Structure 1
Amino acid sequence: MSRPAYYNEIDPYLCQWLRNLMASGLIPAGDVDDRDIRSVCAEDLRGYGQCHFFAGIGGFAYACRLAGWPDDETIWTGGFPCQPFSVAGRQRAQADDRHLWPELCRLIASARPALFVGENVAGLIALGLDGVLADLEAEGYASRAIVVPACAVNAPHRRERVWIVGRRLADCSSERRQQVARGVSGHEVEDAGRAATDDYELASGGKIGLADRDGERSGEARRLCGRATQWPTGGREGSLEHAARERRREGRSESAVRQWVDPTADGTGGLGDADDAGSQRRVERWQRTGEWDAWATGQTLAGRRVPESGIRLLADGISARIPKLRAAGNAIVPQVAAEILRALRG
């Protein structure tokens, strides 16, 4: 009999969070391993159904529950550290000592799970996604990546993320293996992405796809939700560098910044005080109707929609406020992952 779930998480605060969630029955029961992933070997994972690496607050495990994934059915997940690729950091990619994809790939290569689902920030597209997919393919996995943001499932924030799926070809039937090798297996994943993003357009205003340095991956396998071109490079509109500059508002006068959004305007869902009565009204409306004022009015910041955060960043007196905010910031949106998992089960 297989043990239902394995969780690998190095942060003691999050390890206890996972145990609390298991005790409440919100995620599958299992074992929490607080060792660094570099100390984990394939033998440690023998007999587990679900294996969740960089488990955080159990977002992938909860997504499995939302998608109706059996607790003991094999699936590996991993939102490997995004700091090497995030525009909020230095984007040192493989030169960053927090680049732990090679360690996760080592375990995948040794244990060979039937299915892997990963997640990372959009910065990975230009700085390492091609390598991740190449690593999976070298180990006998048909791989696919799609971009689905949080707002695609009506969450009131953008949170654009790359979702990576690898299905082991050796675990498919002969006919299915041929279909997967031709890229057909990715259609159900793409369909899930399209269903979640039909009304969503990326900030670049165009289509995106995977970098393919060697030209070896087929056009079908390079597609991200049907978007087949590449993220713009350099500093022009839509590029990663441009996005980082816009986030920091570099090169903009204060008056120009104020022209983007007037937080005093009624119903804009702008960048005002998250604790005011208007903010509470907008949060309650979103919870009740799934609609957000900033989306309805088309209010934008430098061409991007600006939903207001519901997290009270300046709140005082909350127990363990900083680790809670850090945990929320690192977590996935389970409802997005659940859409992908439902497609994979179908």
Structure 2
Amino acid sequence: MDPYLCEWLRNLIAADIIPSGDVDDRDIRSVSPVDLRGYGQCHFFAGIGGFAYACRLAGWPDDKEIWTGGFPCQPFSVAGRQRAQADDRHLWPELRRLVASARPALFLGENVAGLIPLGLDGVLADLEAEGYASRAIVVPACAVNAPHRRDRVWIVGRSLADAAAAERRAYRAGGNIADRHDAEWPEANDRPAESGEESVADRDGERSGEARRLCGRATQWPAGSGEGGLEHAARERRREGRAESAVRQWVDPTADGAGGLGDADNAGSQRRIEHWQRTGEWDAWQTSQTLAGRRVPESGIRLLADGISARIPKLRAAGNAIVPQVAAEILRALRG
């Protein structure tokens, strides 16, 4: 809805950085399924076009169907009150409404890791109720060598009817399918369950055998306080369990060897950023220190300082954006 971001998207389209299309500046609550007819790619809450750009990075054909949605994270972010479904910015139900009506073959969503304990099960159950096998995985920005952690949960929903039909086509063509008996389902299994029949997400909220077989939930973060658990992750985000001196050292950019603010806005830092964009390698990781049990790279992010035009909207836009290189890795896997 932000006019500044909508113009940003139009500029990216004009420069052929993202696929051509129409920028809809309405509130999603005003969008009807009829408005979406004829569109293959639909990127909701598009921000500065991160998902559309990720499609280009991954070699995703412009005419191949995919829906994406980085639905608002404010209801789930540890930076806010975490009111979840009680927050009026919780717009997943609106996105689900459109998915349920149009039934795209593939959906890719993104949110902060705070969604996991506060709403992820509901999102997955909603997708399954609409006939999608769903899966969630946490991939941080540093997984693609970006110089920051930025944990995000990525949600994939694949239409069961679409997947089953593809398996049967491959089987009939002599393809190598692990579960060949599934490829011999009757054609009726292409259709969503009729009223009164068992749906993909049954009454007890358990996922069906087919949903488990296709996508499972093996990669969802485990519960508990151990390494990788939800409680551990929450503590890490709040920096609990560390000595006070270590916390001060972590947040002090002028600490010896950590790189000072004076180094953050020079030509060298810009070269490092450009090198990462070209190669995916962040050379500051090679000389990084370990502080409070974490690896801390040399500083190298140019600051949005005074004199930068439209500084505040640019900062807001960048803060709400995804890391396209992470989404591109997921899209490459989905292509395969």
Name the TM-score, length of structure 1 as normaliser.
Answer: 0.75
Return the offset for 1:302: 3.8
Return the offset for 1:336: 0.8
Return the offset for 1:154: 1.1
Are 1:166 and 2:161 an aligned pair? no
- Residue of structure 2 equivalent to 1:222: 217
Unaligned runs of 5+ in 2: 172-176, 183-203
1-structure distance, mates of 2:28, 2:251? 43
Q: Is the 8 A contact 1:142 1:180 kept in 2?
A: no
**Bigger Cα displacement from structure 2, 275-284 vs 37-46:** 275-284
2-structure distance, mates of 1:268, 1:11? 37
Q: Is the 8 A contact 1:268 1:297 kept in 2?
A: no
Within a 5 Å distance, the mapping from 1:33-52 to structure 2 comes to 33-52=24-43
2-structure distance, mates of 1:323, 1:278? 20
Report Cα offsets for 1:131-157 as digits up to 9, x if no partner.
Answer: 101100000001111111111111111
User: Which one of the candidate residues 84, 108, 111 is aligned to 1:120?
Assistant: 111
- Residue of structure 2 equivalent to 1:133: 124
1-structure distance, mates of 2:50, 2:178? 27
User: Which one of the candidate residues 303, 306, 329 is aligned to 1:339?
Assistant: 329
Return the offset for 1:230: 2.4
Q: Is the 8 A contact 1:87 1:240 kept in 2?
A: no
2-structure distance, mates of 1:266, 1:280? 21
- Residue of structure 2 equivalent to 1:79: 70
Return the offset for 1:112: 0.5
Within a 5 Å distance, the mapping from 1:122-271 to structure 2 comes to 122-174=113-165, 176=167, 216-217=206-207, 221-224=216-219, 229-230=222-223, 232=225, 238-246=231-239, 253=244, 255-260=245-250, 263-264=253-254, 267-269=257-259
Identity among equivalent pairs (%): 72
Return the offset for 1:257: 3.3
- Residue of structure 1 equivalent to 2:295: 305
Report the residue type matching 2:114 in the other structure: G
Return the offset for 1:222: 1.6
- Specify whether residues 259 and 332 from structure 1 end up closer, same or farther in structure 2 by C-alpha distance, changes over 3 A only: closer
Return the offset for 1:49: 1.0
- Specify whether residues 18 and 282 from structure 1 end up closer, same or farther in structure 2 by C-alpha distance, changes over 3 A only: closer
Report the residue type matching 2:222 in the other structure: T
- Residue of structure 2 equivalent to 1:188: none
- Specify whether residues 301 and 124 from structure 1 end up closer, same or farther in structure 2 by C-alpha distance, changes over 3 A only: farther
- Specify whether residues 318 and 263 from structure 1 end up closer, same or farther in structure 2 by C-alpha distance, changes over 3 A only: closer
Report the residue type matching 2:258 in the other structure: T
User: Which one of the candidate residues 296, 308, 321 is aligned to 1:318?
Assistant: 308
1-structure distance, mates of 2:230, 2:44? 35
Report the residue type matching 2:140 in the other structure: P
Name the TM-score, length of structure 2 as normaliser.
Answer: 0.77
Q: Is the 8 A contact 1:169 1:180 kept in 2?
A: no
1-structure distance, mates of 2:331, 2:292? 34
Unaligned runs of 5+ in 1: 1-9, 185-213
Q: Secondary structure at the match of 2:34?
A: helix
1-structure distance, mates of 2:4, 2:224? 36
Return the offset for 1:160: 1.0
User: Which one of the candidate residues 17, 21, 29 is aligned to 1:30?
Assistant: 21
Report Cα offsets for 1:181-220 as digits up to 9, x if no partner.
Answer: 9xx9xxxxxxxxxxxxxxxxxxxxxxxxxxxxx6724597
Q: Is the 8 A contact 1:149 1:160 kept in 2?
A: yes
- Residue of structure 2 equivalent to 1:284: 271
Aligned residues: 295
Report the residue type matching 1:257 in the other structure: V
Report the residue type matching 1:324 in the other structure: K
Q: Secondary structure at the match of 2:146?
A: coil
Q: Is the 8 A contact 2:224 2:230 kept in 1?
A: no
Report Cα offsets for 1:249-300 as digits up to 9, x if no partner.
Answer: 89975x453444764455435xx31x4279753553464472343x335534
Compare CA radii of gyration and give the structure with the larger one: 2
Q: CA-atom RMSD, angstroms?
A: 3.2
- Specify whether residues 301 and 232 from structure 1 end up closer, same or farther in structure 2 by C-alpha distance, changes over 3 A only: same
2-structure distance, mates of 1:39, 1:256? 49
2-structure distance, mates of 1:277, 1:38? 41
